[in-house]
Structure 1
Amino acid sequence: MITALRSLAFMLVFYSGSLLLVLFALLVAWPWPAGVQVIATAWSRFHRFCTRWLLGQKIRIVGDLPEGRYLYIVKHESMFETIDLLCVFDRPVIAAKRELLDIPLWGQIARLYGLIPVERSAGASALRTLRAAARAATDQGRAVCLFPEGTRVPHGESPPLRAGFAGLYSLLGLPVVPIAVDSGRLSPRGKFMKRPGIITYKVGDVVPTGLDRREAEARVHAAINALNPPPSAA
């Protein structure tokens, strides 16, 4: 019962507050374009506040998170990390599926913020668009984050990486920082109930540039799934 009440309170407070912040961002976008990034960061902090004090979810980062010209590859288990990454990094640029930018109001703000749309059916042209946006972001000193599985994955599952990762790794020529996250344990995809506990980010070893596709994918795949339960416990 307590978990249900906490989850309900989170939905009411977070989504109501999100609507207000989106409307505010739309108001300031024309006279103060940089304000969109400021408000987006405030939204992420508001989300972290709500998850901490309404849901009882704490956050820890295991390992050192390097800063600089890297491609950050992140495990994707729930909506949590798509929002929380704005607290982990300074104004990160996140690659997201194209459909998200069609969401009324929110999609317009996401474009202004600099979210990179990924058109899954576009093939090579999508990679070129992604490469150009990623290079522009790194030139501005912003982190570039990619969810290589393409969609949220239930905790414990480890599907193969989508082809877009290998293409971007080759085209950008950036070292990769793989990051595991176990948010799906507490906030599973599509579930109303969200449980208290600790959500962990685990930073893996940097994957250098110049590796062949198979080795780069194997290293990243192992690192982002480092928080999965062992097979005997699955």
Structure 2
Amino acid sequence: MLYLRNLAFYPVFYLGSIFYVVASVLAVPIGPGPLRRAVAGWACYHRACLRRILGITIVIEGEYASEPVFYAVKHESFFEAIDAPAMYEAPVAFAKYELFLIPGWGRAAKAYGMIFVERDQGAKALRKMVSAARDYAGEGRPLVIFPEGTRVPHGSEAKLQAGFAGLYKLIGLPVVPVAVNSGPLYHRFWKRSGTITYRIGEKIPPGLPRAEIEARVAGAINALN
């Protein structure tokens, strides 16, 4: 049954994704509303495929913030990135710059609202990211970042990237840490049925020293380890 579920999931999800990618690209010149609906629709389609084909359910513990915040999310698999538009309301994610170079998708992602991280550009890139983040937060949109910078196996902890504390300090938004335990089910070719849990932590105020914000975020995002 495990193999049959996966053999059905991959073609259904990826072939269906073509429709949403095309819809997103076509929605770019129309405006942000249709584009956001297309992106959210893709994330919801992914959830439907998980539930109906793979037998994966999603549970959310805790409460969302009522104002724009910095969601710092544990990263165990691609699940968190794909699911973000379904999990949060029109989120603006930080992503590596190479994704912007993907034909079609990169243009749609930029129009939707993503902040691309150019790691080799130093202070200039940081100022650019901070400016963009403040603009998006001013529109009432939440920011989403994976502070570990890469996927981390379930049960393991990784040091937070230095840039996270810098962005936290300069942007000046509260941080809401989010733990997730997708790794055992999703971070493998043969995905398994079960429950993926999100645990939304308590809001952390802006302005804390680097050591304190990193310790509090690291502890909260690893709560499901």
Under TM normalisation by the shorter chain, which class is it? over 0.9
Provide the residue aligned with 1:219 in structure 2: 216
1:173 paired with 2:175, answer no
Distance in 1 (alpha carbons) for counterparts of 2:32 and 2:216: 39
Q: Which moved further from structure 2: 215-224 or 58-67?
A: 58-67
Per-residue CA distance 1:170-220 (angstroms, 9 max, x = gap): 0011111000011111011xx311001100111122211221100110000
Provide the residue aligned with 2:98 in structure 1: 99
Instruction: Please state how far the C-alpha of 1:33 moved relative to its aligned partner.
Output: 4.5
Please tell me the residue identity of whatever aligns with 1:203.
I
What is the RMSD of the two structures over their aligned residues, measured on CA atoms? 1.3
Pairing of 1:121-132 with structure 2 (within 5 A)? 121-132=120-131
1:202 paired with 2:169, answer no
Provide the residue aligned with 1:45 in structure 2: 44
Q: Which runs of 5+ in 1 are unaligned?
A: 229-234
SS at match of 1:155: coil
Instruction: Please state how far the C-alpha of 1:225 moved relative to its aligned partner.
Output: 0.7
Pairing of 1:148-187 with structure 2 (within 5 A)? 148-187=147-186
Q: Which runs of 5+ in 2 are unaligned?
A: none
Provide the residue aligned with 1:193 in structure 2: 190
Instruction: Please state how far the C-alpha of 1:100 moved relative to its aligned partner.
Output: 1.6
Instruction: Please state how far the C-alpha of 1:55 moved relative to its aligned partner.
Output: 1.0
Runs of 4+ in 1 over 4 A off after TM superposition: none
Pairing of 1:115-154 with structure 2 (within 5 A)? 115-154=114-153
TM-score normalized by the length of structure 1: 0.92
Q: In 1, are the aligned partners of 2:25 and 2:105 still within 8 Å (CA)?
A: no
Distance in 1 (alpha carbons) for counterparts of 2:207 and 2:23: 44
Q: Percent identity among equivalent residues?
A: 50
Q: In 2, are the aligned partners of 1:97 and 1:150 still within 8 Å (CA)?
A: no
SS at match of 1:10: helix
Provide the residue aligned with 1:85 in structure 2: 84
Provide the residue aligned with 1:67 in structure 2: 66
TM-score normalized by the length of structure 2: 0.95
Q: Which moved further from structure 2: 156-165 or 33-42?
A: 33-42
Q: In 1, are the aligned partners of 2:72 and 2:175 still within 8 Å (CA)?
A: yes
Instruction: Please state how far the C-alpha of 1:223 moved relative to its aligned partner.
Output: 0.5
Please tell me the residue identity of whatever aligns with 2:210.
R
